[in-house]
């Protein structure tokens, strides 16, 4: 079993599914080299439908170098409205060309603004806002440049890794006809890890913040987010975070000094520090000195979606650890063993984009391993692991042993996720394997990978198998 890059191991991605050498290289040297298009599922009414019945205008935007949240803020500013009136189905990276849907409440199609780096078209109207997850998946065309080896060597390495991942996708001869190459590419499988960017591409700390939150360590959560400089950050940012660490180490931190040192572009850090500075000033005037309350209030200075992200990242980290331990022990990803919790596929989605329907789960007993395995081999069901929360029931047998050991090492339990406000989470389950049809080509200038993934799966988790390089380059 080939160990992952050190940076990946820090977010729970301990292994590769393939042993073959990588081609190296870099992604996103230009946004045009990383193209993403949402596979849409919504069925809107016509653009000229009555806004009284369909209050939300549905637009399709092709964005060049725009982060989803930043574009939402830009278009809301253009209309002079709250960003709460802008919704989307999936978050995309700014270092890409992305095509995705947004819904705008109370907006007329004729009033759509021109925005640099964005091509916008009105596609219909909806009676409700888009919800996160209102898509089947994403289709990718990714160009890898600056390969570490020449074209002939790269072709050989891509072929070997593809074959290894083809075997990961298949369980036995029952799927042999489904794993050969066809006009859509070769069916391959990879661990359904949460990618490095889930935790912060340059400074992966969101899971650490979330772990502190779940343990009730509010002070440590704020320090982990605002302090702890990373060598991948600009010198000004590193210096500001060092000031936070200096003050946090004192008996009476001067949070105003830390706030003054923090650059304006780190607005969430500044929001937290501003609340701490105000609370310290209030203490000097005889205010409430409840430390946990102060630090929790500081964390709640950021938007509720970021508060949820902290806890979600902790869940994601635990999930990655569970999948890695399963790989280490040699348990399969594509078929169940006794004790596994399997979820049948969501019937509303086409097979290439199927995800588990967590309302249709089954515990795998010894007598049913074979029959459930057939469903998994044919893509009708998925072996899962928990995104642990208050509603989580852990697996049995060896899979359950793995889940309990990982949670114990992290000092977590399902009950610990009963938290105030946006930090609360009931949890869910997630497939431990993702399959896709892959078309990979290599030329003298680089390599191109075309594939599509169901919602929630990460392109970089597939591409890392072929590059085997520092995730910073992904």
Per-residue pLDDT tens, the chain, 474 aa: give them.
899 999 999 999 999 999 999 999 999 888 899 999 999 999 999 999 999 999 999 999 999 989 898 999 999 999 999 988 999 998 888 889 999 999 999 999 999 999 999 999 999 999 999 998 899 999 999 999 999 999 999 999 999 999 999 999 985 444 444 545 566 789 999 999 999 989 987 899 999 999 999 999 999 999 999 999 999 899 999 999 999 999 999 999 999 999 999 999 999 999 999 999 999 887 765 555 588 899 999 999 998 889 999 999 999 999 999 999 999 999 999 999 999 999 999 988 887 898 999 999 999 999 999 999 999 998 999 999 999 999 999 999 999 999 999 999 999 999 999 999 999 999 999 999 999 999 999 999 999 999 999 999 999 999 999 999 998 888
Yes or no: say if 454 and 379 are a contact pair by the CB < 8 Å rule.
no
Q: Does the active-site annotation cover 93?
A: yes
Yes or no: say if 466 and 161 are a contact pair by the CB < 8 Å rule.
yes
- To which CATH superfamily is domain 6-32+138-192+434-473 assigned? TruD, catalytic domain (3.30.2350.20)
Provide the 10 A C-beta neighbour count for residue 461: 23
Rounded Cα distance between 85 and 107, Å, is: 9
> Given the DSSP bridges, would you call strands 356-363 and 186-191 parallel, antiparallel or unpaired?
unpaired
The owner of tokens 């919800």 is 131
Rounded Cα distance between 296 and 300, Å, is: 6
Yes or no: say if 438 and 450 are a contact pair by the CB < 8 Å rule.
yes
Rounded Cα distance between 378 and 361, Å, is: 17
What 8-state DSSP symbol labels residue 145?
B
Rounded to the nearest 5 degrees, what angle is found at the Cα of 138, between the Cα atoms of 133 and 140? Answer: 160
202-302, CATH topology level: Hypothetical Protein Yqey; Chain: A; domain1 (1.10.1510)
Do domains 6-32+138-192+434-473 and 313-431 share one topology? The answer is yes
Please name the residue ranges forming H helices in 45-199.
68-79, 151-169
Angle, helices 267-284 vs 218-226, to 10°: value is: 130
Q: Which two tokens stand for residue 422?
A: 């946006």
The catalytic residue among 19, 67, 93, 470 is 93
Least Cα distance to 466 among 149, 12, 39 occurs for 149
Question: Which residues are 139's β-sheet partners?
Answer: 37, 452
Q: Which two tokens stand for residue 440?
A: 């990979």
The number of helices, as runs of H, and strands, as runs of E, in the chain is 13, 13
Rounded Cα distance between 55 and 159, Å, is: 50
Spatial neighbors of 222 by CB under 8 A, at least 6 apart, are 272, 276, 295, 298, 299
What 8-state DSSP symbol labels residue 38?
E
CATH architecture of 313-431: 2-Layer Sandwich (3.30)
Domain boundaries, the chain: 6-32+138-192+434-473, 42-133, 202-302, 313-431
Spatial neighbors of 449 by CB under 8 A, at least 6 apart, are 140, 141, 142, 144, 438, 439, 440, 462, 463, 466
Q: Domain 42-133's class?
A: alpha beta
């Amino acid at each position: 079993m080939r160990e992952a890059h050190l940076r990946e191991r820090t977010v729970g991605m301990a292994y590769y599914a393939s042993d073959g050498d990588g081609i190296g290289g870099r992604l996103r040297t230009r946004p045009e080299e990383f193209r993403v298009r949402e596979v849409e599922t919504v069925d809107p009414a016509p653009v000229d439908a009555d806004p009284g019945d369909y209050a939300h205008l549905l637009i399709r935007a092709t964005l060049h170098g725009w982060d989803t949240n930043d574009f939402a803020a830009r278009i809301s500013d253009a209309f002079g409205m709250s960003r709460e009136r802008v919704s989307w189905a999936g978050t995309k990276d700014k270092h890409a060309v992305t095509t995705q849907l947004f819904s705008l409440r109370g907006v007329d199609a004729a009033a759509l603004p021109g925005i640099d780096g964005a091509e916008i078209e009105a596609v219909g109207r909806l009676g409700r806002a888009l919800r996160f997850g209102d898509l089947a998946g994403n289709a990718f065309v990714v160009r890898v440049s600056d390969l570490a080896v020449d074209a002939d060597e790269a072709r050989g390495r891509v072929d070997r890794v593809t074959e290894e991942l083809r075997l990961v996708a298949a369980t036995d001869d029952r799927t042999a006809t489904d794993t050969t190459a066809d006009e859509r590419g070769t069916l391959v499988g990879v661990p359904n890890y949460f990618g490095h960017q889930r935790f912060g591409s340059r400074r992966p700390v969101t899971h650490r913040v979330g772990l502190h939150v779940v343990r009730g360590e509010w002070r440590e959560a704020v320090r982990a987010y605002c302090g702890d400089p990373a060598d991948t950050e600009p010198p000004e940012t590193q210096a500001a975070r060092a000031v936070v660490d200096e003050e946090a180490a004192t008996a009476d931190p001067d949070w105003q000094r830390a706030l003054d040192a923090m650059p304006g572009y780190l607005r969430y850090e500044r929001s937290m520090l501003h609340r701490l500075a105000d609370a310290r000033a209030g203490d000097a005037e005889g205010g409430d000195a409840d430390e946990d309350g102060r630090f929790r209030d500081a964390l709640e200075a950021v938007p509720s979606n970021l508060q949820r992200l902290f806890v979600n990242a902790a869940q994601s980290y635990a999930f990655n650890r569970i999948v890695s331990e399963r790989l280490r022990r040699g348990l399969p990803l594509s078929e169940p063993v006794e004790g596994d919790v399997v979820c049948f596929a969501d019937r509303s989605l086409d097979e290439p984009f199927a995800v588990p329907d967590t309302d249709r789960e089954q515990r795998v007993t010894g007598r049913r391993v074979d029959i459930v395995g057939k469903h998994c081999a044919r893509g009708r069901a998925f072996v899962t692991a928990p995104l642990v929360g208050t509603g989580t029931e852990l697996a049995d047998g060896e899979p359950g042993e793995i889940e309990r050991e990982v949670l114990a090492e992290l000092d977590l339990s399902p009950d610990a996720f009963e938290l105030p406000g946006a930090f609360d989470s009931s949890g869910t389950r997630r497939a431990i394997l993702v399959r896709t049809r892959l078309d990979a080509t290599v030329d003298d200038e680089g390599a191109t990978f075309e594939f599509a993934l169901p919602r929630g799966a990460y392109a970089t988790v597939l591409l890392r198998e072929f590059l085997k390089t520092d995730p910073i380059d992904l």
